Amino acid sequence: MAQEQSLRRSTLSTLVVMGSTFASRVLGFLRIAVIGAVFGGSGEADVVNLVFNIPNNLRKLLAEGALSSAFIPVLSKTIIADASGESSRRIVRLILTLQLVILLPLLLLSVLFSSQIISVILDFPEPARQVLASELFQWLIHYLLLISISAVVMGTINSHNRFLVPALTPLLFSISVICAILLLHDAIGVFSMAVGVLVGGVLQILFQIPQFRKLGYDLRLSFNFGDPRFKAVMAQWLPVVATASVYTINQQVSMLFASGLDDGSGSAVTNALTFWQLPFGIFSASITTVMFPRMSRQFAADDTQGLKQSLEYGFRYLIALLIPSALIMGMLGHEIIAVALQRGQFQVQYTDLAARTLAGYCLGLLSVGAFSFFQRFFYAIGNFRTPLITAAVAFVLDVGLALWLKETRLRVVGLAVANSVAFSVALVLMVVKANQILGGLNFRRIGVTFAKVALSITPVALYIYLYLERGGQWWRDGSSWGNLLRLAGAGGGAAGILLIMYYFLQVEALRTLFGRRK
Protein backbone atom coordinates (compact mmCIF):
# COMPACT_ATOMS: atom_id res chain seq x y z
CA MET A 1 0.00 0.00 0.00
CA ALA A 2 2.79 2.45 0.90
CA GLN A 3 4.57 1.66 -2.37
CA GLU A 4 1.35 2.23 -4.33
CA GLN A 5 0.73 5.57 -2.61
CA SER A 6 4.32 6.60 -3.33
CA LEU A 7 3.89 5.74 -7.00
CA ARG A 8 0.72 7.80 -7.12
CA ARG A 9 2.56 10.78 -5.62
CA SER A 10 5.15 10.32 -8.38
CA THR A 11 2.29 10.26 -10.86
CA LEU A 12 1.06 13.63 -9.58
CA SER A 13 4.57 15.09 -9.87
CA THR A 14 4.79 13.66 -13.39
CA LEU A 15 1.48 15.32 -14.31
CA VAL A 16 2.80 18.66 -13.06
CA VAL A 17 5.88 18.28 -15.25
CA MET A 18 3.78 17.07 -18.19
CA GLY A 19 1.47 20.07 -18.00
CA SER A 20 4.36 22.51 -17.84
CA THR A 21 6.20 20.69 -20.61
CA PHE A 22 3.08 20.77 -22.79
CA ALA A 23 2.91 24.56 -22.45
CA SER A 24 6.63 24.74 -23.23
CA ARG A 25 6.22 22.57 -26.34
CA VAL A 26 3.32 24.67 -27.59
CA LEU A 27 5.52 27.75 -27.32
CA GLY A 28 8.29 25.75 -28.97
CA PHE A 29 5.97 25.13 -31.91
CA LEU A 30 5.21 28.84 -32.07
CA ARG A 31 8.95 29.51 -32.05
CA ILE A 32 9.50 27.12 -34.95
CA ALA A 33 6.49 28.61 -36.77
CA VAL A 34 8.00 32.08 -36.45
CA ILE A 35 11.37 30.83 -37.72
CA GLY A 36 9.65 29.11 -40.65
CA ALA A 37 7.50 32.13 -41.52
CA VAL A 38 10.44 34.54 -41.35
CA PHE A 39 13.29 32.42 -42.75
CA GLY A 40 11.37 29.82 -44.79
CA GLY A 41 12.21 26.11 -45.07
CA SER A 42 15.64 26.30 -46.70
CA GLY A 43 18.51 28.78 -47.21
CA GLU A 44 18.79 30.95 -44.09
CA ALA A 45 16.47 28.57 -42.21
CA ASP A 46 18.92 25.71 -42.76
CA VAL A 47 21.73 27.88 -41.38
CA VAL A 48 19.72 28.95 -38.31
CA ASN A 49 18.47 25.46 -37.51
CA LEU A 50 21.70 23.54 -38.10
CA VAL A 51 23.99 26.02 -36.32
CA PHE A 52 21.72 26.18 -33.25
CA ASN A 53 21.81 22.38 -33.11
CA ILE A 54 25.56 22.52 -32.35
CA PRO A 55 25.35 24.10 -28.84
CA ASN A 56 22.00 22.39 -28.36
CA ASN A 57 23.67 18.99 -28.82
CA LEU A 58 26.76 19.90 -26.80
CA ARG A 59 24.59 20.74 -23.77
CA LYS A 60 23.94 17.02 -23.45
CA LEU A 61 27.56 16.67 -22.38
CA LEU A 62 27.76 19.56 -19.92
CA ALA A 63 24.14 20.34 -19.06
CA GLU A 64 21.00 18.36 -18.38
CA GLY A 65 22.35 15.28 -20.13
CA ALA A 66 25.62 13.77 -18.93
CA LEU A 67 26.38 16.02 -15.97
CA SER A 68 22.87 15.80 -14.52
CA SER A 69 22.88 12.03 -14.93
CA ALA A 70 26.03 11.81 -12.82
CA PHE A 71 25.17 14.71 -10.50
CA ILE A 72 21.59 13.90 -9.40
CA PRO A 73 22.27 10.41 -7.91
CA VAL A 74 25.17 11.69 -5.80
CA LEU A 75 23.27 14.81 -4.73
CA SER A 76 20.18 12.72 -3.86
CA LYS A 77 22.26 10.46 -1.62
CA THR A 78 23.96 13.47 -0.01
CA ILE A 79 20.62 15.14 0.76
CA ILE A 80 19.56 11.98 2.62
CA ALA A 81 22.91 11.51 4.38
CA ASP A 82 23.50 15.12 5.50
CA ALA A 83 20.34 16.85 6.74
CA SER A 84 22.24 20.10 7.38
CA GLY A 85 22.63 20.61 3.62
CA GLU A 86 26.24 21.78 3.87
CA SER A 87 27.60 18.84 1.85
CA SER A 88 24.96 19.37 -0.82
CA ARG A 89 25.81 23.05 -1.13
CA ARG A 90 29.50 22.22 -1.43
CA ILE A 91 28.85 19.77 -4.28
CA VAL A 92 26.75 22.29 -6.21
CA ARG A 93 29.41 24.99 -5.90
CA LEU A 94 32.09 22.61 -7.15
CA ILE A 95 30.00 21.56 -10.15
CA LEU A 96 29.36 25.19 -11.11
CA THR A 97 33.07 25.94 -10.81
CA LEU A 98 33.97 22.95 -12.94
CA GLN A 99 31.67 24.14 -15.71
CA LEU A 100 33.37 27.53 -15.84
CA VAL A 101 36.82 25.93 -15.88
CA ILE A 102 35.85 23.74 -18.83
CA LEU A 103 33.55 26.01 -20.80
CA LEU A 104 35.30 29.39 -20.79
CA PRO A 105 38.37 28.12 -22.70
CA LEU A 106 36.09 26.11 -25.00
CA LEU A 107 34.04 29.19 -25.86
CA LEU A 108 37.17 31.22 -26.56
CA LEU A 109 38.50 28.58 -28.94
CA SER A 110 35.11 28.32 -30.64
CA VAL A 111 35.10 32.04 -31.39
CA LEU A 112 38.69 32.09 -32.65
CA PHE A 113 38.35 29.00 -34.86
CA SER A 114 34.67 29.18 -35.80
CA SER A 115 35.21 28.82 -39.55
CA GLN A 116 37.37 25.72 -39.13
CA ILE A 117 34.84 24.14 -36.74
CA ILE A 118 31.89 24.83 -39.07
CA SER A 119 33.77 23.43 -42.07
CA VAL A 120 34.13 20.12 -40.20
CA ILE A 121 30.62 19.96 -38.73
CA LEU A 122 28.50 21.27 -41.62
CA ASP A 123 28.73 20.91 -45.41
CA PHE A 124 26.66 23.59 -47.11
CA PRO A 125 27.20 23.55 -50.90
CA GLU A 126 27.18 27.38 -51.09
CA PRO A 127 30.28 29.15 -49.65
CA ALA A 128 28.13 32.10 -48.54
CA ARG A 129 26.10 29.83 -46.27
CA GLN A 130 29.27 28.42 -44.72
CA VAL A 131 30.46 31.95 -43.92
CA LEU A 132 27.10 32.94 -42.46
CA ALA A 133 27.02 29.75 -40.39
CA SER A 134 30.51 30.51 -39.03
CA GLU A 135 29.52 34.05 -37.99
CA LEU A 136 26.28 32.91 -36.35
CA PHE A 137 28.12 30.12 -34.52
CA GLN A 138 30.40 32.66 -32.82
CA TRP A 139 27.34 33.99 -30.98
CA LEU A 140 25.14 30.94 -30.48
CA ILE A 141 27.91 28.84 -28.90
CA HIS A 142 27.71 30.98 -25.74
CA TYR A 143 24.28 29.49 -25.05
CA LEU A 144 26.18 26.38 -23.94
CA LEU A 145 27.48 28.16 -20.80
CA LEU A 146 24.08 29.58 -19.91
CA ILE A 147 22.16 26.33 -20.30
CA SER A 148 24.85 24.44 -18.39
CA ILE A 149 24.47 26.69 -15.35
CA SER A 150 20.69 26.50 -15.65
CA ALA A 151 20.85 22.69 -15.76
CA VAL A 152 22.78 22.48 -12.47
CA VAL A 153 20.25 24.75 -10.81
CA MET A 154 17.41 22.70 -12.30
CA GLY A 155 18.92 19.37 -11.23
CA THR A 156 19.45 20.68 -7.70
CA ILE A 157 15.83 21.77 -7.37
CA ASN A 158 14.55 18.47 -8.84
CA SER A 159 16.66 16.51 -6.35
CA HIS A 160 14.58 18.10 -3.60
CA ASN A 161 11.38 16.85 -5.29
CA ARG A 162 10.50 20.35 -6.54
CA PHE A 163 9.46 20.16 -10.20
CA LEU A 164 7.18 23.06 -11.11
CA VAL A 165 9.68 25.93 -11.45
CA PRO A 166 12.23 23.90 -13.48
CA ALA A 167 9.42 22.64 -15.72
CA LEU A 168 8.19 26.20 -16.41
CA THR A 169 11.67 27.56 -17.10
CA PRO A 170 11.89 26.59 -20.82
CA LEU A 171 8.87 28.82 -21.52
CA LEU A 172 11.10 31.86 -21.09
CA PHE A 173 13.51 30.62 -23.74
CA SER A 174 10.84 30.28 -26.45
CA ILE A 175 9.28 33.63 -25.56
CA SER A 176 12.68 35.31 -25.82
CA VAL A 177 13.50 33.78 -29.22
CA ILE A 178 10.06 34.61 -30.65
CA CYS A 179 10.20 38.24 -29.52
CA ALA A 180 13.78 38.74 -30.73
CA ILE A 181 13.08 37.40 -34.22
CA LEU A 182 9.86 39.38 -34.65
CA LEU A 183 11.36 42.62 -33.35
CA LEU A 184 14.93 42.46 -34.67
CA HIS A 185 14.84 40.39 -37.87
CA ASP A 186 14.50 43.36 -40.20
CA ALA A 187 17.51 45.04 -38.58
CA ILE A 188 19.99 42.18 -38.04
CA GLY A 189 18.61 39.18 -39.96
CA VAL A 190 19.60 35.72 -38.71
CA PHE A 191 21.47 37.26 -35.79
CA SER A 192 18.11 38.07 -34.21
CA MET A 193 18.05 34.35 -33.40
CA ALA A 194 21.32 34.73 -31.46
CA VAL A 195 19.91 37.62 -29.42
CA GLY A 196 16.82 35.61 -28.51
CA VAL A 197 18.80 32.50 -27.60
CA LEU A 198 21.26 34.32 -25.35
CA VAL A 199 18.64 36.43 -23.59
CA GLY A 200 16.52 33.29 -23.14
CA GLY A 201 19.49 31.49 -21.59
CA VAL A 202 19.99 34.26 -19.03
CA LEU A 203 16.28 34.33 -18.17
CA GLN A 204 16.24 30.58 -17.52
CA ILE A 205 18.89 31.05 -14.83
CA LEU A 206 17.28 34.08 -13.22
CA PHE A 207 13.83 32.47 -13.05
CA GLN A 208 15.10 29.53 -10.99
CA ILE A 209 17.39 31.44 -8.65
CA PRO A 210 14.73 32.38 -6.03
CA GLN A 211 13.75 28.74 -5.34
CA PHE A 212 17.39 27.66 -5.63
CA ARG A 213 18.31 30.14 -2.89
CA LYS A 214 15.24 29.24 -0.83
CA LEU A 215 16.56 25.66 -0.66
CA GLY A 216 19.81 27.03 0.80
CA TYR A 217 22.03 27.11 -2.31
CA ASP A 218 23.98 29.91 -3.96
CA LEU A 219 26.16 30.52 -7.04
CA ARG A 220 29.45 30.92 -5.17
CA LEU A 221 32.45 29.12 -6.61
CA SER A 222 34.68 26.58 -4.88
CA PHE A 223 37.94 25.07 -6.08
CA ASN A 224 38.20 22.32 -3.46
CA PHE A 225 38.17 19.58 -6.09
CA GLY A 226 39.50 17.07 -3.58
CA ASP A 227 36.04 16.73 -1.98
CA PRO A 228 35.16 13.00 -1.96
CA ARG A 229 31.57 13.53 -3.09
CA PHE A 230 32.76 15.70 -5.97
CA LYS A 231 35.14 12.91 -6.93
CA ALA A 232 32.17 10.54 -6.88
CA VAL A 233 30.35 12.79 -9.34
CA MET A 234 33.42 12.92 -11.58
CA ALA A 235 33.86 9.15 -11.41
CA GLN A 236 30.31 8.83 -12.75
CA TRP A 237 30.45 11.82 -15.08
CA LEU A 238 33.35 10.62 -17.22
CA PRO A 239 31.68 7.40 -18.40
CA VAL A 240 28.39 9.26 -18.84
CA VAL A 241 30.21 11.84 -20.96
CA ALA A 242 31.60 9.02 -23.06
CA THR A 243 28.06 7.75 -23.60
CA ALA A 244 26.64 11.22 -24.26
CA SER A 245 29.49 11.90 -26.68
CA VAL A 246 28.29 9.00 -28.78
CA TYR A 247 24.83 10.61 -28.97
CA THR A 248 26.23 14.04 -29.74
CA ILE A 249 28.46 12.73 -32.51
CA ASN A 250 25.59 10.62 -33.79
CA GLN A 251 23.21 13.57 -34.06
CA GLN A 252 25.88 15.81 -35.55
CA VAL A 253 26.67 13.18 -38.18
CA SER A 254 22.96 13.13 -39.07
CA MET A 255 23.01 16.91 -39.44
CA LEU A 256 26.14 16.64 -41.59
CA PHE A 257 24.38 14.12 -43.82
CA ALA A 258 21.27 16.33 -43.98
CA SER A 259 23.26 19.45 -44.92
CA GLY A 260 24.67 17.60 -47.94
CA LEU A 261 21.28 16.38 -49.22
CA ASP A 262 18.56 18.22 -51.13
CA ASP A 263 17.87 21.85 -50.26
CA GLY A 264 15.67 22.05 -47.17
CA SER A 265 16.74 18.69 -45.74
CA GLY A 266 18.40 20.24 -42.70
CA SER A 267 15.27 22.21 -41.84
CA ALA A 268 13.11 19.12 -42.48
CA VAL A 269 15.07 17.19 -39.83
CA THR A 270 14.94 20.08 -37.37
CA ASN A 271 11.22 20.71 -37.89
CA ALA A 272 10.35 17.00 -37.72
CA LEU A 273 12.27 16.59 -34.47
CA THR A 274 10.54 19.63 -33.02
CA PHE A 275 7.14 17.97 -33.43
CA TRP A 276 8.52 14.57 -32.44
CA GLN A 277 9.79 16.18 -29.23
CA LEU A 278 6.23 17.08 -28.19
CA PRO A 279 5.18 13.59 -27.00
CA PHE A 280 8.79 12.74 -26.14
CA GLY A 281 9.14 15.78 -23.90
CA ILE A 282 5.68 15.65 -22.37
CA PHE A 283 5.67 11.93 -21.61
CA SER A 284 9.14 10.39 -21.74
CA ALA A 285 11.17 13.30 -20.38
CA SER A 286 8.54 14.04 -17.70
CA ILE A 287 8.43 10.45 -16.45
CA THR A 288 12.22 10.24 -16.48
CA THR A 289 12.58 13.58 -14.66
CA VAL A 290 10.42 12.35 -11.77
CA MET A 291 11.50 8.69 -11.64
CA PHE A 292 15.26 9.20 -11.95
CA PRO A 293 15.73 10.82 -8.49
CA ARG A 294 13.27 8.26 -7.10
CA MET A 295 15.26 5.30 -8.45
CA SER A 296 18.49 6.90 -7.22
CA ARG A 297 17.08 7.15 -3.68
CA GLN A 298 15.77 3.57 -3.81
CA PHE A 299 19.16 2.25 -4.84
CA ALA A 300 20.84 4.30 -2.09
CA ALA A 301 18.38 2.78 0.41
CA ASP A 302 19.00 -0.74 -0.95
CA ASP A 303 15.31 -1.03 -1.89
CA THR A 304 15.65 -3.52 -4.77
CA GLN A 305 11.95 -4.38 -4.88
CA GLY A 306 10.94 -0.72 -5.01
CA LEU A 307 13.55 -0.07 -7.70
CA LYS A 308 12.16 -2.92 -9.80
CA GLN A 309 8.59 -1.64 -9.39
CA SER A 310 9.63 1.89 -10.39
CA LEU A 311 11.35 0.66 -13.55
CA GLU A 312 8.39 -1.50 -14.60
CA TYR A 313 5.95 1.30 -13.72
CA GLY A 314 7.77 3.83 -15.90
CA PHE A 315 8.12 1.40 -18.80
CA ARG A 316 4.41 0.53 -18.76
CA TYR A 317 3.48 4.19 -18.73
CA LEU A 318 5.76 4.90 -21.68
CA ILE A 319 4.14 2.07 -23.64
CA ALA A 320 0.66 3.42 -22.90
CA LEU A 321 1.58 7.00 -23.80
CA LEU A 322 4.15 6.85 -26.59
CA ILE A 323 2.68 4.17 -28.87
CA PRO A 324 -0.60 6.04 -29.51
CA SER A 325 1.34 9.32 -29.72
CA ALA A 326 3.53 7.88 -32.46
CA LEU A 327 0.51 6.56 -34.36
CA ILE A 328 -1.48 9.81 -34.21
CA MET A 329 1.46 12.06 -35.03
CA GLY A 330 2.72 9.80 -37.82
CA MET A 331 -0.69 9.61 -39.51
CA LEU A 332 -1.44 13.34 -39.08
CA GLY A 333 2.07 14.62 -39.83
CA HIS A 334 1.17 16.60 -42.97
CA GLU A 335 -1.85 18.15 -41.31
CA ILE A 336 0.00 19.09 -38.10
CA ILE A 337 2.98 20.66 -39.83
CA ALA A 338 0.85 22.48 -42.41
CA VAL A 339 -1.34 24.09 -39.73
CA ALA A 340 1.64 24.98 -37.57
CA LEU A 341 4.21 26.11 -40.13
CA GLN A 342 2.89 26.49 -43.67
CA ARG A 343 2.67 30.25 -44.08
CA GLY A 344 4.88 33.03 -45.43
CA GLN A 345 8.08 31.59 -46.88
CA PHE A 346 7.28 28.06 -45.67
CA GLN A 347 5.75 26.35 -48.72
CA VAL A 348 3.90 23.10 -49.36
CA GLN A 349 7.00 21.13 -50.42
CA TYR A 350 8.66 21.87 -47.09
CA THR A 351 5.58 20.59 -45.27
CA ASP A 352 5.65 17.35 -47.24
CA LEU A 353 9.37 16.78 -46.63
CA ALA A 354 9.14 17.50 -42.90
CA ALA A 355 6.01 15.32 -42.50
CA ARG A 356 7.60 12.31 -44.18
CA THR A 357 10.70 12.76 -42.04
CA LEU A 358 8.50 12.99 -38.94
CA ALA A 359 6.83 9.68 -39.83
CA GLY A 360 10.26 8.04 -39.96
CA TYR A 361 11.13 9.33 -36.48
CA CYS A 362 7.72 8.28 -35.10
CA LEU A 363 8.61 4.66 -35.82
CA GLY A 364 11.14 4.88 -32.99
CA LEU A 365 9.32 7.16 -30.55
CA LEU A 366 8.77 4.42 -27.96
CA SER A 367 12.25 3.00 -28.52
CA VAL A 368 14.04 6.31 -27.95
CA GLY A 369 11.81 7.29 -25.01
CA ALA A 370 12.14 3.94 -23.25
CA PHE A 371 15.87 3.79 -24.04
CA SER A 372 16.37 7.15 -22.31
CA PHE A 373 14.37 5.94 -19.30
CA PHE A 374 16.30 2.65 -19.00
CA GLN A 375 19.54 4.57 -19.37
CA ARG A 376 18.64 6.61 -16.28
CA PHE A 377 17.88 3.38 -14.43
CA PHE A 378 21.41 2.14 -15.08
CA TYR A 379 22.86 5.48 -14.02
CA ALA A 380 20.80 5.33 -10.81
CA ILE A 381 22.37 1.97 -9.87
CA GLY A 382 25.90 3.06 -10.84
CA ASN A 383 26.11 0.92 -14.00
CA PHE A 384 27.72 3.03 -16.72
CA ARG A 385 29.09 0.26 -18.92
CA THR A 386 25.73 -0.91 -20.27
CA PRO A 387 24.55 2.55 -21.48
CA LEU A 388 27.93 3.11 -23.16
CA ILE A 389 27.86 -0.22 -25.00
CA THR A 390 24.26 0.13 -26.12
CA ALA A 391 24.86 3.73 -27.24
CA ALA A 392 27.82 2.55 -29.32
CA VAL A 393 25.66 -0.15 -30.90
CA ALA A 394 22.98 2.44 -31.71
CA PHE A 395 25.60 4.77 -33.21
CA VAL A 396 27.13 2.13 -35.49
CA LEU A 397 23.72 0.93 -36.66
CA ASP A 398 22.41 4.46 -37.16
CA VAL A 399 25.36 5.70 -39.21
CA GLY A 400 25.57 2.49 -41.23
CA LEU A 401 21.88 2.50 -42.10
CA ALA A 402 21.91 6.26 -42.76
CA LEU A 403 24.78 5.96 -45.24
CA TRP A 404 22.73 3.42 -47.15
CA LEU A 405 19.21 4.85 -46.85
CA LYS A 406 20.09 8.46 -47.66
CA GLU A 407 21.22 7.32 -51.10
CA THR A 408 17.89 5.61 -51.78
CA ARG A 409 14.58 7.22 -52.70
CA LEU A 410 14.06 7.95 -49.01
CA ARG A 411 16.86 10.56 -48.92
CA VAL A 412 16.47 12.60 -45.70
CA VAL A 413 13.61 10.36 -44.52
CA GLY A 414 16.16 7.55 -44.49
CA LEU A 415 18.06 9.35 -41.71
CA ALA A 416 14.93 9.19 -39.53
CA VAL A 417 14.24 5.54 -40.30
CA ALA A 418 17.87 4.63 -39.54
CA ASN A 419 17.61 6.36 -36.16
CA SER A 420 14.40 4.51 -35.27
CA VAL A 421 15.77 1.08 -36.18
CA ALA A 422 19.06 1.66 -34.34
CA PHE A 423 17.40 2.67 -31.06
CA SER A 424 14.91 -0.19 -31.25
CA VAL A 425 17.80 -2.65 -31.28
CA ALA A 426 19.57 -0.76 -28.47
CA LEU A 427 16.41 -0.77 -26.33
CA VAL A 428 16.14 -4.55 -26.57
CA LEU A 429 19.71 -4.85 -25.29
CA MET A 430 18.88 -2.50 -22.39
CA VAL A 431 15.78 -4.46 -21.37
CA VAL A 432 17.63 -7.79 -21.46
CA LYS A 433 20.39 -6.44 -19.21
CA ALA A 434 17.95 -4.85 -16.74
CA ASN A 435 16.08 -8.14 -16.56
CA GLN A 436 19.31 -9.93 -15.61
CA ILE A 437 20.27 -7.38 -12.95
CA LEU A 438 16.87 -7.30 -11.23
CA GLY A 439 16.36 -11.05 -11.30
CA GLY A 440 13.51 -10.92 -13.78
CA LEU A 441 11.11 -8.17 -14.81
CA ASN A 442 7.37 -8.80 -14.81
CA PHE A 443 7.08 -9.25 -18.59
CA ARG A 444 3.60 -10.68 -18.22
CA ARG A 445 2.29 -7.41 -16.79
CA ILE A 446 4.25 -5.41 -19.35
CA GLY A 447 2.85 -7.63 -22.11
CA VAL A 448 -0.71 -7.12 -20.87
CA THR A 449 -0.22 -3.34 -21.06
CA PHE A 450 1.20 -3.67 -24.57
CA ALA A 451 -1.73 -5.84 -25.71
CA LYS A 452 -4.31 -3.41 -24.29
CA VAL A 453 -2.58 -0.51 -26.03
CA ALA A 454 -2.43 -2.38 -29.34
CA LEU A 455 -6.14 -3.17 -29.10
CA SER A 456 -6.96 0.43 -28.17
CA ILE A 457 -5.14 2.08 -31.08
CA THR A 458 -6.81 -0.09 -33.73
CA PRO A 459 -10.07 1.95 -33.81
CA VAL A 460 -7.98 5.12 -33.47
CA ALA A 461 -6.05 4.31 -36.64
CA LEU A 462 -9.27 3.42 -38.47
CA TYR A 463 -10.89 6.72 -37.42
CA ILE A 464 -7.94 8.82 -38.62
CA TYR A 465 -7.77 6.93 -41.93
CA LEU A 466 -11.48 7.43 -42.67
CA TYR A 467 -11.37 11.07 -41.54
CA LEU A 468 -8.50 11.87 -43.92
CA GLU A 469 -9.99 9.88 -46.78
CA ARG A 470 -13.21 11.83 -46.54
CA GLY A 471 -11.57 15.24 -46.14
CA GLY A 472 -8.92 14.95 -48.88
CA GLN A 473 -5.56 16.76 -48.88
CA TRP A 474 -6.78 19.95 -47.24
CA TRP A 475 -3.39 20.36 -45.60
CA ARG A 476 -2.00 21.67 -48.91
CA ASP A 477 -3.85 24.95 -48.29
CA GLY A 478 -1.58 25.55 -45.31
CA SER A 479 -2.29 27.32 -42.06
CA SER A 480 -5.83 28.65 -41.56
CA TRP A 481 -8.53 28.66 -38.91
CA GLY A 482 -10.55 26.20 -40.96
CA ASN A 483 -7.67 23.76 -41.18
CA LEU A 484 -7.00 24.18 -37.48
CA LEU A 485 -10.58 23.10 -36.79
CA ARG A 486 -10.20 20.14 -39.16
CA LEU A 487 -7.01 19.10 -37.37
CA ALA A 488 -8.76 19.46 -34.02
CA GLY A 489 -11.50 17.17 -35.29
CA ALA A 490 -9.00 14.55 -36.34
CA GLY A 491 -6.79 14.74 -33.25
CA GLY A 492 -9.59 15.31 -30.76
CA GLY A 493 -11.64 12.42 -32.10
CA ALA A 494 -8.61 10.12 -32.02
CA ALA A 495 -7.78 11.12 -28.45
CA GLY A 496 -11.38 10.63 -27.37
CA ILE A 497 -11.56 7.13 -28.84
CA LEU A 498 -8.26 6.26 -27.16
CA LEU A 499 -9.46 7.42 -23.74
CA ILE A 500 -12.69 5.44 -24.07
CA MET A 501 -10.74 2.31 -25.01
CA TYR A 502 -8.30 2.84 -22.15
CA TYR A 503 -11.19 3.27 -19.73
CA PHE A 504 -12.98 0.07 -20.70
CA LEU A 505 -9.76 -1.96 -20.96
CA GLN A 506 -8.54 -0.50 -17.64
CA VAL A 507 -5.15 0.59 -18.93
CA GLU A 508 -2.99 1.41 -15.91
CA ALA A 509 -2.02 4.91 -17.06
CA LEU A 510 -5.68 5.94 -16.72
CA ARG A 511 -6.62 3.70 -13.81
CA THR A 512 -3.92 5.10 -11.52
CA LEU A 513 -5.22 8.64 -12.00
CA PHE A 514 -8.78 7.60 -11.20
CA GLY A 515 -7.52 5.69 -8.16
CA ARG A 516 -5.77 8.80 -6.93
CA ARG A 517 -8.92 10.89 -7.34
CA LYS A 518 -10.85 8.37 -5.27
Q: 215-250 burial by CB neighbour count: b if 16+ within 10 A, else e?
A: bebeeeebeeeeeebbebbbebbebbbbbbbbbbeb
Nearest to 306 by CA among 160, 437, 444, 438: 438
Rounded-to-integer distance, Cα 304 and Cα 204, Å: 36
Does position 517 have pLDDT exceeding 50, yes or no?
no
Rounded-to-integer distance, Cα 38 and Cα 251, Å: 26
Nearest to 336 by CA among 274, 281, 284, 285: 274
**pLDDT range class, residue 287, cuts 50, 70, 90:** confident
Q: What is the pLDDT of residue 512?
A: 57
Each residue's pLDDT tens digit, 436-455: 999 889 999 999 999 999 99
Planar angle of CA 155, 159, 162, nearest 5 degrees: 95
Q: Using a pLDDT cut of 90, give the percent of the chain over it.
A: 34
Each residue's pLDDT tens digit, 302-318: 888 889 999 999 999 99
Nearest to 169 by CA among 140, 137, 212: 212
Each residue's pLDDT tens digit, 446-503: 999 999 999 999 999 999 999 999 888 899 888 888 998 999 999 999 999 999 999 9
Which residues are within 8 A (CB) of 277 and not within 5 positions of it... i.e. 6 or more apart?
25, 28
Does position 247 have pLDDT exceeding 70, yes or no?
no
The residue ranges of every structural domain in the chain are 2-517
- For 234-246, give the DSSP string: HHHHHHHHHHHHH
Report whether 74 contacts 382 (CB < 8 A): no
Does position 60 have pLDDT exceeding 80, yes or no?
no
Q: What is the pLDDT of residue 14?
A: 65
